[in-house]
Chains A and B, each alone.
Chain A
Amino acid sequence: MADATETSRKRSQVEDVNRSLYDFKMSEEGYERYADGLSTDIVRAISEKKDEPEWMLELRLKALAAYEEMEMPANWGPSIEMLDLNHISAYVSPKTKQANSWDDVPEDIKNTFERLGIPEAERESLAGVGAQYDSEIVYHNMREEVADQGVIYTTIEDALHDPELEPIVHEYFGTLIPMRDHKFAALHYAVWSGGSFVYVPEGVTLPYPLQSYFRLNAQGAGQFEHTLIIVEPGADLHFIEGCSAPKYYEANLHAGAVELFVKDHAKLRYSTIENWSKNMFNLNTKRATVGADSIMEWVSGSFGSHVSYLYPTTFLQGARSSCEFTGITFAGATQDLDTGCKVILNGPDTTASVDTKSISKDGGINTFRSSIVVGRRADRARATVSCASLMLDDISRSDTIPAMDVRNGSASVGHEATIGRISDDTILYLMSRGCSEGEARTMVVNGFADPVSKELPMEYAIEMNNLIKLEMEGAIG
């Protein structure tokens, strides 16, 4: 059959692409790398290097104490036994200063981001870009016309050194995600480094998205960036976050924090395409608080990491505020991904709509976990959760664990979940029209993921479809 050679050619191509697209390593030579493990000395060293205000050092030390005291929940969630914090370096920095022109970024790092397509996307469709390499932001830039409107897009470190911005960071930083929220939130606050600070003034609508890209290159390291976004009344922002890392045999750790403040009559869309390598422990915390008549939208694609605990959380505080969550998670071999979201409806007439998909394959484990909490004052609040899971073989696993807690008699909450497989009839139909079985399955899975890719800007939708294709075709070999 002609198919056989076609397939084998494709297979080797896929492997080439697979290696070159995300899985390439750069030398760590000349890096500043702190000793593995955690200690007050390391925390003090990070703070000193960043020349931080005293309050930040105090916050870090308090968080470290909390981290040492707290435990991971023993009764739920994927195992993180393989994660040994004594073998993770909390701070690794390339020897370079932050640049605002790609020409000033060291060659190998620039190369990395070129291959990930970041400068190209910046030229074509973004209002600003931040690029983090291991623990530090190496590039930050924003279009002039956006800056002229008073939009601030910088690192938290820089904001802390700006006498006008420092009070704003102080006011908001760490208020939405308490350091005792869970063990890795405490860890985050102890050693955080990098990330973005975004401030959109009242009434400003950004014409293009801002994007931050996080690349973890160093082996056995942790990335702990902190993203703080404030969208003032009437403002509108689309923020995109991308992440990737090369594959190592040692565990890497990502414990970032994202705090989003959406004021009244405002809108924020937060999109993520996450493709961490499969040795990554992704214990990320994202949280938004939303004012009256405002909209918070999450679009989330999770493809990478060995273990994920990821549940973007939205507090609908203001009346008539709304939250839309669209997510997809693809768990393949060696992956145990516990993802979902939380929405707390506190304001009257608030609405939440959650739509998620998950795909499990080659022994991958998917857990969709959510909670919808309707508070006593949330009169007429409405929430719907819909999750669909696709099982692609009988060695994988897919669990759906949605919790609901409703404390208002006038609220209405709906939930539906389905778990199933691709029907043989569908595959047969597509094959009868000339598709190979592999193509047919890829087509069905892409169709399944369509509601999510529709929500992404074009180039990211293409990236996501490529990721699905890679995951699907990788299995043939």
Chain B
Amino acid sequence: MANTIITADQTDTTALGHINVPPAQTWNYLRINDIAFDVPTPHFVGDVYARLPQLFDKVECGIGEDAVTWMAHAAGDARYVEVRAGEPHDPIVIDVDAAGCDVSDTGVLVRSGAQATIVACSHGGAAGATSASLLRVIAEREAQVTIIELVACNEDQQHLDAVGIEAAEDAHIEMRQYALGGGKVALGLCCNLAGNASRFSLDSRYLASGTDVLDVNHVIRQRGRNTRADIVTTGILADSARKTMRETIDLIHGAKFAEGSEIETVLVTGDDVVNKTLPVILCDEEDVAGNHGASIGAISPEQLGFLGSRGLGEEEAERLFARALFDDAVIHAVDDDVRQAVLARAAAVLGADVARDIAEVLGYDIREA
């Protein structure tokens, strides 16, 4: 459990600018190049011994250096986990209680050939509260890492979530990212495919409703030869939600035979939605392939026709997509506390009946709060 040295009723705040800045920026008037947060100023609490080893300082997190520095300070202490090959282990669970202004700072070193599963879940919320999770992962040669990042906060919560990954040769990183709610949420992610033949796959899903502000920055650096990055993003925007999604595939000189692809599908169900997308491919190498696709708007006519033939009209289809997001999060939650956090958020968004149905159909019990 993370310690915290900030509180919800604190009056002194720090303005954090330049959060989630993409590697390539564009016209400033579009207001897509960054986001700013006012965060509680961490207070000095004496010497802190539990800092992460220095090698984590070099891990780029898409959220930006200022935010990382703030998180490391606000966390008070840090947690370091080392996973060795052949050692069986339970999933590494990072639990951030948002209402309690938790800030966690975690570094995981996955040694050569080791396998690790990491779940970072931030949940709940309270008026005026700010919470954060900073996760840095170093995957050595042939390491296999599964990361599940969930943000399931309430509409009055402000939250920052950062993941930085360093992948050595033949390391495989599989990541699922769920943004299920929060008044103002920044998700920063950077994966540095430094080693040859390293791989990163990201399945990112979000639902923003009410007056939620969701700000995402995905940065994939492809440095090694034969690296692969596959990013699939699906999201739902309802009511007056505002979302900014930046996705950058950076094919760096030397990344021969690298392939990067990103696909975003956004379902817009609200009339007052603001939906910004900046899908960038940077290419400084010849023998590579970069692809991007985006589709923004309603459900496609083909899908609507197919779902119609099974009895679902457009509204029911939209409801199905929203429910499916939570179903999927429950399916991949790995840990029961995490699952319960998802179900609690599902109850808040879809209603208690639907949340119970989700749990029961998938064979889980719902824990009473």
Q: Is there any pair of Cβ atoms, one from A and one from B, under 8 angstroms apart in the complex?
A: yes
Residues of A within 8 A of B (CB): 73, 75-76, 369, 371, 373, 389, 391-394, 396-421
Residue B337 CB within 8 A of the other chain: no
The residue that A76 contacts in the complex, of B27, B275, B276, with Cβ under 8 A, is B27
CA distance A415 to B277 in the complex (A): 10
Separation in Å of the A215 CB from the closest CB of chain B? Answer: 31
Residues of B within 8 A of A (CB): 24-28, 30, 32-33, 251, 253, 256, 268-298
Contact A407 B25 (CB under 8 A): no
CA distance A420 to B283 in the complex (A): 9
Contact A421 B287 (CB under 8 A): yes
**Closest Cβ neighbor of A73 among chain B residues:** B28
Contact B278 A75 (CB under 8 A): no
Contact A394 B271 (CB under 8 A): no
Separation in Å of the B232 CB from the closest CB of chain A? Answer: 15
Other A-B pairs beyond A403-B26, A413-B295, 12, CB < 8 Å? A394-B253, A399-B24, A400-B290, A401-B278, A402-B279, A404-B294, A405-B275, A406-B275, A406-B296, A418-B290, A418-B292, A421-B286
Chain A residues whose CB sits within 8 angstroms of the CB of B274 once the complex forms:
405-407
- Name 6 interchain pairs, CB-CB below 8 A, sorted by A: A400-B282, A401-B24, A401-B280, A414-B294, A415-B292, A417-B292
Separation in Å of the B231 CB from the closest CB of chain A? Answer: 13
Contact B25 A76 (CB under 8 A): yes
Contact of A391 with B268 at beta-carbon distance under 8 Å, contacts A75-B28, A407-B275, A417-B292 already known: no
Separation in Å of the B272 CB from the closest CB of chain A? Answer: 8
The residue that B26 contacts in the complex, of A369, A389, A392, A394, with Cβ under 8 A, is A369
The residue that A403 contacts in the complex, of B27, B292, B298, with Cβ under 8 A, is B27
The residue that A394 contacts in the complex, of B269, B281, B287, B292, with Cβ under 8 A, is B287
Interface SS of chain A: strand
Contact B283 A389 (CB under 8 A): yes
Separation in Å of the A286 CB from the closest CB of chain B? Answer: 16
Contact A399 B281 (CB under 8 A): yes
**Closest Cβ neighbor of A414 among chain B residues:** B295
Contact B298 A410 (CB under 8 A): yes
Chain A residues whose CB sits within 8 angstroms of the CB of B279 once the complex forms:
402, 415, 417
**Closest Cβ neighbor of A416 among chain B residues:** B293
**Closest Cβ neighbor of B268 among chain A residues:** A409
CA distance A401 to B271 in the complex (A): 27
Contact B276 A405 (CB under 8 A): yes
CA distance A418 to B288 in the complex (A): 10
**Closest Cβ neighbor of A400 among chain B residues:** B281
Chain A residues whose CB sits within 8 angstroms of the CB of B278 once the complex forms:
401-404
Separation in Å of the B217 CB from the closest CB of chain A? Answer: 14
The residue that B286 contacts in the complex, of A76, A392, A413, A414, with Cβ under 8 A, is A392
Contact A394 B275 (CB under 8 A): no
Separation in Å of the B223 CB from the closest CB of chain A? Answer: 14
Contact A417 B283 (CB under 8 A): no
Chain A residues whose CB sits within 8 angstroms of the CB of B256 once the complex forms:
394
Contact of A76 with B26 at beta-carbon distance under 8 Å, contacts A394-B285, A409-B271 already known: yes
Contact A403 B276 (CB under 8 A): yes
CA distance A419 to B25 in the complex (A): 19
CA distance A417 to B82 in the complex (A): 40
CA distance A369 to B277 in the complex (A): 13
